[in-house]
């Protein structure tokens, strides 16, 4: 049924469950898997001079985040390969997480997006937002949401 599945992961315990489910689903359908991590850009200060870092410091921090993301994706790749699943990994450098997930799914010609949701409700959802909700609203592909 599915030929290519994209799983979005941030390394959290909840997204690790989504990865496990995506690997199992890919194995069941003999589908390719794309594991994606969206690496944020370093936030710029809202108050000029409050906390300023040099461009070199910011580049170093962003490099460390990218290396951490790649290490996490390498772990996902190893798990998928142990299950006999064909996998590729991808990172996106953006503060627009949902948009990056939808764009990556299109780029990799995915049939399904798998991701986790914290299931926040009420004021927490309003204050913290929901990247999963944004993906659901923007994606033309099916999205499997796991908790």
Domain boundaries defined on the chain:
6-146
Question: Mean pLDDT, to the nearest integer, of 57-79?
Answer: 93
pLDDT band at 98 (very low <50, low <70, confident <90, very high): very high
Residue 133 has pLDDT above 90, yes or no: no
pTM: 0.86
pLDDT band at 126 (very low <50, low <70, confident <90, very high): very low
Residue 140 has pLDDT above 80, yes or no: yes
Per-residue pLDDT tens digits for 38-64: 998 877 655 555 566 788 888 898 899
Measure CA 13 to chain center: 13
Taking domain 6-146, whether its CATH number is 3.40.50.720 is answered by no
Measure CA 130 to chain center: 13
**Using CA of residue 11, residue 12, residue 15, residue 19, what is the dihedral sign?**
positive
Name which of 114, 144, 85, 139 is nearest 8 in CA terms: 114
Residue 17's CB: how many other CB atoms inside 10 A?
13
Question: Mean pLDDT, to the nearest integer, of 114-127?
Answer: 65
């Amino acid at each position: 049924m599915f030929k290519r599945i994209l799983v979005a992961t941030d390394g959290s315990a909840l997204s690790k469950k989504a990865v496990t489910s995506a690997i199992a689903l890919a194995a069941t359908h003999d589908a390719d898997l794309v594991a994606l991590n969206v690496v944020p850009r370093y936030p710029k200060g809202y108050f000029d001079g409050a906390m300023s870092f040099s461009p070199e410091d910011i580049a170093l921090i962003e490099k460390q985040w990218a290396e951490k993301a790649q290490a996490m994706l390498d772990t996902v790749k190893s798990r998928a390969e142990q299950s006999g699943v064909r996998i590729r990994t991808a990172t996106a450098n953006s503060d627009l997480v949902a948009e990056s997930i939808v764009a990556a799914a299109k780029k990799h010609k995915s049939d399904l997006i798998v991701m986790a949701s914290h299931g926040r409700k009420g004021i927490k959802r309003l204050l913290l937002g929901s990247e999963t909700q944004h993906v659901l609203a923007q994606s033309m592909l099916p999205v499997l949401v796991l908790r």
